[in-house]
Amino acid sequence: MAMNYQEILEDIRVEVQPLLKKGKVADYIPPLAGRSLLHFGMSLRTIQGETYSVGEACERFSIQSIAKVFNLTRAMQLHGDRIWKRVNREPSGAGFNSLGQLEAESGIPRNPMINAGALVIMDMILNHADAGEDLILDKVRALAADESINYDLMVAEAENDTGHRNRAMAWLLKAYRNLDNPIERVLQAYFRLCSLAMSCEDLVTAFQYLATGGTDVHGEIIATSEQVKRINAIMLTCGVYDEAGDFAFRVGLPTKSGVGGGIVAVLPGQYVAAVWSPGLSPKGNSLAGTRALELLTTRTTGSIF
């Protein structure tokens, strides 16, 4: 029997309403601090291309660390297995911006989904780029089938002004000789990456390749099935930082969150779902968004487990 995704999403939207006000916006990035807690949008796109949406699913928001998946995918395309000499692939069990762990582990980030890992991955991508060249934006536009997707430079600038921990992290990586490019070049590219503005509908389109075994919505091969397996595994174990265990327990899907309140989840062979609600848990993942995904896999009785 065909699943009535639209009805399921409508029910979820109603059910999570009381949670919206319980989270806290990411106020360490000033433009995000002003976001209302009342936003909610959710989309699901099946691998057959049917899209179901509720709430503000077309409203663009700052995808923040969700972009680390595009970053990793691009580095895999450019560098293959050489990545793993400079970044590990173990869950961190620590906050996404932990400096202590990076120091204790001699400048090798635990995984590509925490900030330190994403900085190293960005450094590897920049090794392929001429000055000023952007190797990510065009790829994201193609994946999402929308040329109007862009960076929000106000958000990027605000992070540049206030991202002191990220700056400290980049210096520490440099001290351990795990950054080739000038620190400022890597930071600027990283802040821009985090500032990508996309909607839930953009995200479910752009992430299709992780549900289809590597093919995007145009039929282009973005990653091999082995790479897709690896990206999904990294999302499952590292995508929501030190809440990865709780997400596996409650949602049971590879997911990636961002402090803008977005979360993307993949059920390989079936669908991609994306949800946006700016109120965060203390660990930086959308509170209502997490519950919405938990309800989705419970109601549809489908997860990777």
For binding to ligand GLN (CB under 6 A), which residues are involved? 64-65, 96-97, 115, 159, 166, 194, 258-259, 284
Query: Distance between CA 207 and CA 52 in Å, rounded?
Result: 15
Min dist. Cβ of residue 65 to ligand GLN (A): 3
Query: Distance between CA 42 and CA 8 in Å, rounded?
Result: 11
CB 39 within 8 A of CB 61: yes
Q: Which residue's CB is nearer to ligand GLN, number 64 or number 181? A: 64
Beta bridge partners of 196: 151
Q: Which residue is nearest to ligand GLN (CB)?
A: 65
Q: Which residue's CB is nearer to ligand GLN, number 97 or number 111? A: 97
Q: How many CB atoms lie within 10 A of CB 184?
A: 11
Q: Which residue's CB is nearer to ligand GLN, number 43 or number 281? A: 281
Min dist. Cβ of residue 62 to ligand GLN (A): 8
Q: Which residue's CB is nearer to ligand GLN, number 8 or number 87? A: 87
Beta bridge partners of 52: 44
Q: What is the DSSP string of 247-303?
A: HHHHT-S-EEE-TTSEEEEEETTTEEEEEE---B-TTSSBHHHHHHHHHHHHHTT--
Q: How many CB atoms lie within 10 A of CB 150?
A: 16
Q: Which residue's CB is nearer to ligand GLN, number 166 or number 199? A: 166
Min dist. Cβ of residue 178 to ligand GLN (A): 17
Min dist. Cβ of residue 48 to ligand GLN (A): 31
Min dist. Cβ of residue 216 to ligand GLN (A): 24
